[in-house]
Structure 1
Amino acid sequence: MSIASEVDMVPSVGSSLAGRPQAVIDQVRSYESYIAGRDVAGEGWVYTLTARSLLEDVFTSVNIKRTLEQNPESPESLHPYVVGRCGVATLADIDAAVDAAVSAKAGWAATPLATRMRLGPIFRAKLREHREELLSLLMAEAHPRMLAEWELSCLEQVYSDESCDWYRQQMATEFDHADRRLIVRRCPDGVVAINPPQNAPAPSAALAVLILMAGNTVVVRAPRSIALSTMYVLRELVAPLLAELGAPPGTLNVICGKPQQTLDRWLEHPGVDDILYFGGSEEGLRFEQECVARGKKPILELAGNDGLVVWRDADLKLAAEAIAECFYGSGQICMVPNYVLAHPAVAEELIGLVREEVGNVRPGYPEERGVLLSPVRRSEKFFRLLDQAVRNGAELVCGGRRTELDGTPSETGVFLEPTVVRVEGLRDARRFDIVRHETFFPLIPLVVAEPADDELLLDRFVDFLNDNSYGLRNSLWATSSEVVDRFVTRINNGGLLKVNDSHIGFLPYLPSHGGTGLTGGAFGEANYPILKTSHLQGVSISRGIRPRTAVFGD
């Protein structure tokens, strides 16, 4: 069926459910706050309307949301644009969720590690079982299907058998030493509050499973503007698994609330031990200071400004594919490449190949195969950054315009063209904001290094990456083992280094999140949530050793 014919079949606002397929009716989901193992009514609702509605009829979409938030019994609740709703937590609910987590923490922490570790594999199985349902919700929230599949691939690796085996090794190790049994183990921090980002809330909130595996109890805030998929994952998939494992009520709590209001309550509540915070670097670093002042552990996932290096002997076609990953989701993903450093000997050919790859990145409805661009609602900063770069001497290679759904350039389009900008020289490259900071747009600066001896260029490339004030991921494209070894041994910035590989791809064992500098704050490093929300403890169990002998010897 064509898009046009589907649009023609959309009933008017206020139409009844009569004639709608049962599968559509079943997709209208409703979630209240989940506190201490039960559903708790809040103060009103926030509604999720399919992303398609914003592309077809933004006026009707906005009107339906406003009407329903004022009157949930309105006939608009039956409109096919409506996917679901989530109850809004009160201040009392926010505190009650933490109180429930406090009450449950001793019981869950006492649960044997082997039992808690089972949560990872059975959650992965549950994700696979409900894959299409979750994909449909992510697409309703404006994630292109291919991007949603990539997000689920992250969870597949995070909870793979290899990764879960490695987590188990890190959580407890035993040694025999003379007449003692020595244990090095990790203990849960206690109550962990999670504030996932708006651009990918459900996959980020799913990291709560790792935090639960560590023995912590959890409170998650589902973002008000995009709450449904988060509530689905935690309420429908994770909560039943915890019940199967005998977790006490309150081990997992999920609320939908205002961000600042919720964070303020978490900072004030003495029961919160850790806060996993996703957000911008400036706000996040201020929040880190507040956490430390209140005696809470801040775990920060902030902005990224990832570098991708292309050396003279690189497979340029594959490198160009990796560079094009910067446009996925219209660049509104922290772990995509944000700038490219190109060897001058291959810069021209590389730019040509990147231009070809741009043609494979297109807008469209989220459910359409091949769509990789997402709508960008606020694009003023994009044009401001682009204008600054061009005024300062950069060259616009391609892109730079708004487009309609079909890719046609338009002053009123809700998509942005994939945009490539050429910057000459490493020396002054960071005077361009598009090189110095994360842009969060489909915009990549390709920095062409000054011609120089390869040994000198190699040092300059390494220094450039290490001097980045951010540090999430870096990647290199080169075939020389000497060049690869130099990068592997000398790059110390960031939580992950990829060599001749997808910049955004996920792998078992390796971290999916975490970084240094403005990405992770003062305590930033690769983020394995099971480790970041626990702490090391050494244990010695003696078999009849005399204390005096232990101190002074025989």
Structure 2
Amino acid sequence: MPEQPRTAAVTAVVAGVPVDTRHWIGGRRVASAGTFTDRSPIDGRALAEVSRGGAAEAGAAVAAAAAAFPGWAATPRAERARLLHAVADGVQQRLEELAQVETADNGALLRSHRRGVMPRVAHNFRFFADRLLTLDHEDFETRGHSNHVSWDPAGPCVLITPWNAPLMLASWKVAPALAAGNTVVLKPAEWSPLTASLLADIAAEAGLPDGVLNVVQGLGDEAGAALVSHPDVRRISFTGSVPTARRIAGAAAANLTPVSLELGGKSPLLVFADADLDLAVDLAVEQYDNAGQVCLAGTRLLVESSIAEEFLRRFAVRAAALTPGDPRDEATDLGPTVHRRQLDRIDGFVRRALDAGARAVVGGGPDEDLGGLHYRPTLLTDVAQDSEIVQEEVFGPVLTLQTFDTEDEAVELANGTRFGLAAVLATGDPERADRVTARLVAGTVWVNCFFVRDLRAPFGGSRHSGIGREGGSWSFDFYCDLKNTVTAPKGGPGHG
């Protein structure tokens, strides 16, 4: 594919920031014959015509990653770490631009991007750069023989990221994959591809060698399918839906390619009568963050019967105080959903639940005053445990409330879905907290708090919420081939 000249046709200006809409392959910009339209969820306007990759672009990107792999894998740890810190510096320097572009692209709050999300992107690169330098396992002996564990780079990695936190979740995968000595092909979601292109620019400016990071844009059934089925790919990491994960796992199985899957959730938020009720209500309302488009959200409120009425009263007051609106406004608490298809999907779940007998005590439909892609924060009661609205991930600002009378009943309800990503527990009894958390099926449990994340901790889900763990050394375990070298003692042959 010939290199294309940089012209207005391949550059979009988003929130005043020029964004190249072509792929980044082998250290150069490459255009496709076709494009797809990327629209802002804020007002529906077209932000960019983005190069629509397919099998040819996927193949070229994997080839570029494979060609760059030997040199990058042989790069000393300290140099790889230095370059990742340089990428973090670039993110920090362009933090406002990244925040503005991502808000325009996916509709999440600008204040969150400025204060939390984009600083976290830089932190992700710094954390894994530093972790690389301390990655070690103590040598040990077996009948006089020494054992030495090492983490060998695996090869080209395909990383497929979602639209709800595009750059942060990309950095959560890209940083450890690169730190481990692998090369990367990043495929961003087609509903929010723009900051991945800016990341390619930042990485190039930081001095990352050509082909070490590649970005291929396009649709999942085209570019994504070609990437995950490529025989030269050594690792696949995906964050997204269960149905897509099944297709990826099937394609990866044909090549025996290891996969890491961070999937959906239907997490419970348990509130016991001994909880600080104001804190519990605050935690529950916090689940509307990012218009409910958060995989970890505790969308199933499980409240002890004796306090349910008072909990509902306080919750309704707090939810009514949320300010919906333009996500670029500092006063806005609740922005739009990401896409018309997503809004319709959310509303479909709610309408079917209402038809089945659920009651909307808060919200219950699109925001008619704001229009567009705004959906009112919603809380549904009178829902059965086996109902669709309780069992399936909505991924919008929709919560359900069920009551329980005993600790056993609370745990049974909490574990009563096919998911196991996270759980939130509100209680004033430390012994109860220990008992309940030990019984919950979840990758992360928060007790009297929510969304406190540390990269030193493992992250991932159980059951249909995923395969594998990321964070800390767990990321390196996935992105590397672990090797144990056994050496005989000096002065004679060894036998196992």
**What's the TM-score, normalizing by structure 2?**
0.87
AA matched with 1:285? R
Q: Do the aligned residues in 2 keep the contact of 1:212 with 1:218 (CA within 8 Å)?
A: yes
> SS of the residue aligned with 2:163?
coil
2:139 partner SS: strand
Q: How far, CA to CA, are the matches of 2:109 and 2:267 in structure 1?
A: 22
Q: Among residues 89, 99, 106, which one is paired with 2:53 in the alignment? A: 89
Aligned residue number for residue 401 of structure 2: 446
1:416 counterpart = 2:375: yes
Contact preservation (8 Å) 2:160, 2:188: yes
Correspondence 1:256 to 2:220: no
Separation (CA, whole Å) in 2 of partners of 1:26 and 1:136: 9
C-alpha change, 1:132 and 1:139, in structure 2 (3 Å) is same
The answer for the alignment partner of 1:472 in structure 2 is 421
Distance 1:25 1:433 in 2: 39
Match of 2:161 among 185, 192, 196: 196
* Match among 13, 16, 27 for residue 17 of structure 2: 27
Shift of 1:271: 0.8
Within 2, Cα distance between the matches of 1:490 and 1:441?
27
Q: Specify whether residues 49 and 269 from structure 1 end up closer, same or farther in structure 2 by C-alpha distance, changes over 3 A only.
A: closer
Question: Are residues 1:514 and 2:460 paired?
Answer: yes
Distance 2:277 2:239 in 1: 34
Q: Counterparts of 1:384-463 in structure 2 under 5 Å? A: 384-404=348-368, 406=370, 414-423=373-382, 429-449=384-404, 451=405, 457-463=406-412
Q: Which amino acid in 2 is paired with 1:448?
A: T
Tell whether the 8 Å contact from 1:327 to 1:361 is kept in structure 2 after alignment: no
What's the C-alpha RMSD, in Å, of the aligned pairs?
A: 2.8
Deviation string 1:144-190 (CA, Å, 9 cap, x unpaired) is 213434433543554565x7655654x42232548655322322221
Structure 2 CA distance, aligned partners of 1:486 and 1:166? 33
CA contact (8 A) 2:151 2:476 kept: no
1:334 partnered with 2:295: yes
Instruction: Using the TM superposition, name which of 482-491 and 117-126 deviates more.
Output: 117-126
8 A contact 2:160–2:186 mirrored in 1: yes
SS of equivalent residue, structure 2 residue 70: helix
Structure-2 separation of matches of 1:125 and 1:98: 27
Taking the TM superposition and a 5 Å limit, the aligned residue runs for 1:102-113 are 102-113=66-77
Per-residue deviation, residues 451-477 of structure 1 (Å, max 9, x unmatched) = 3xxxxx223323333343111111111
Cα distance between partner residues in 1 of 2:224 and 2:16: 33
CA distance in 2, matches of 1:348, 1:209: 47
Q: How does 1:213-224 map to 2 (within 5 A)?
A: 213-224=179-190
Structure 2: gaps spanning 5 or more residues: 1-7
Aligned-pair CA distance for 1:236 = 2.2
Indicate how the Cα distance of structure 1 residues 380 and 31 shifts in structure 2: closer, same or farther if over 3 A, else same.
closer
Secondary structure of the residue that 2:316 maps to in structure 1?
A: helix
Cα 1:230–1:311 shift into 2, 3 Å: same
Q: Secondary structure at the match of 2:446?
A: strand
Paired residue for 2:477? 531
Contact 2:90 2:202 survives alignment (8 Å): yes
3-state SS, counterpart of residue 63 of structure 2:
helix
Change in CA separation of 1:499 and 1:97 when aligned onto 2, cut-off 3 Å: same
SS in 2 for 1:337: coil
Deviates more, 1:99-108 or 1:256-265: 256-265
Give the direction of change, closer, same or farther, for the CA distance of 1:515–1:47 in structure 2 (3 Å limit): same
* Match of residue 497 from structure 1: 445
Report the 3-state secondary structure (helix = DSSP H, G, I; strand = E; otherwise coil) of the residue aligned with 2:477.
Answer: helix
Alignment partners' CA distance in 2, 1:122 and 1:180: 41
Of the structure 1 ranges 315-324 and 177-186, higher mean CA displacement relative to structure 2 is found in 177-186
Q: Which residue of structure 2 lines up, in the alignment, with residue 314 of structure 1?
A: 275
Any conservation in 1 of the 2:284–2:298 contact (CA below 8 Å)?
Answer: yes
Q: 1:102-251 maps to which residues of 2 (within 5 A)?
A: 102-141=66-105, 142-149=107-114, 150-152=116-118, 154-155=120-121, 158-159=124-125, 161=127, 165=130, 168-169=133-134, 171-175=135-139, 177=141, 181-207=146-172, 208-233=174-199, 235-243=200-208, 247=209, 249-251=210-212
CA-CA distance at 1:547 after TM superposition:
2.3
After TM superposition, give the deviation of residue 26 of structure 1 in Å. Answer: 5.4
Given that residues 105 and 216 in structure 1 are in contact (C-alpha distance below 8 angstroms), is that contact kept between their aligned partners in structure 2? yes
Identity %: 26
What displacement does 1:501 show?
Answer: 1.0
The alpha-carbon deviation at position 292 of structure 1 amounts to 1.4
Aligned length: 476
Residue type of the partner of 1:284? A
Amino acid paired to 1:254: V
In structure 2, the partner of 1:6 is none
TM-score with structure 1 setting the length: 0.78
Contact 1:275 1:296 in 2 (8 A): yes
Mapped to 1, the partners of 2:419 and 2:276 lie a distance apart of: 27
Match of 1:486 among 435, 441, 454: 435
The unaligned stretches of length 5 or more in structure 1 are 1-16, 18-22, 55-60, 66-81, 407-411, 452-456
**Residues 486, 226 of structure 1: CA spacing in aligned structure 2 closer, same or farther, 3 A cutoff?**
same
Contact kept? 1:324, 1:357, Cα under 8 Å: yes
**Aligned partners of 1:496 and 1:526 also within 8 Å:** no
